[in-house]
Amino acid sequence: MRNVVLVGSSGSIGSAIHNELKSEHVISFSKQTPSKFNNTHHYIDLSQPISVDEIKEKIDVDVVDDLIYTPGIAHFNMLEDTPLNIIDEQYNIQVRNLIVFIQAILPKIKKSPHGRIVIISSVYGQVGASCESVYASMKGAQNTLVKSLAVEYAGTNVTVNAVAPGVVKGKMTDLLSDVDLKTLIEDLPQRRLIEPSEVAKLVMYILSEDSQSVTGQIFNINGGWYT
């Protein structure tokens, strides 16, 4: 049984990943109701700065095998109209506290025979996104972090990768009006939304022992929307 730290376990993608990991020992973190699966859950507000020591205290195992970081909250607005507090929250959720979790688990994950760090990024970390410049900037930072850490820890058993989904069916798309959603789907080559379970299956491959040489990669899963 693997010890898995899953951050953002109550989101659409996080829940789908937890479903795949229900037979493992999952230590989950989220701001909302924990998954229905058996796990050790901690409530946390990632929009505020957290400390490395705070996270270390909550991860009470000697070895961590996997860290999966899924949080991402889109903010739709022109940059000139985006308040600084929103930028701070985006930074805390998607960059600062991600680094905090990595710092907290590194001593434990280096003990694993095949440690895995997987970050759920976004297609917008690689292409421009009008009215989502702050969100896209944070996702771009995640991708650069993945590539840098992969080189930094290439001499260990730890791999670092990201999954960059396109438009995933779930809480984010639920915020769109029927008209906006219809227009969006018409722009997608496959004319469909990605299911959270598809993202989860890709994550499971990255977590497997078969992916030991796969590191520093940004895995696109967007139905041909961007290549």
Distance CA 152, CA 139 (A): 20
Among 43, 69, 124, 135, the active-site one is 135
Distance CA 185, CA 203 (A): 24
78 in Cβ contact with 86 (< 8 Å): no
How far is Cα of residue 213 from the mean position of the Cα atoms in its chain? 21
Residues 6+ apart with CB under 8 A from 93: 46, 47, 71, 72, 73, 138
CA distances from 132 to 127, 221, 225 (A): 11, 19, 17
Asked about 91 being catalytic, the answer comes back as no
User: Which residues are tagged catalytic?
Assistant: 135
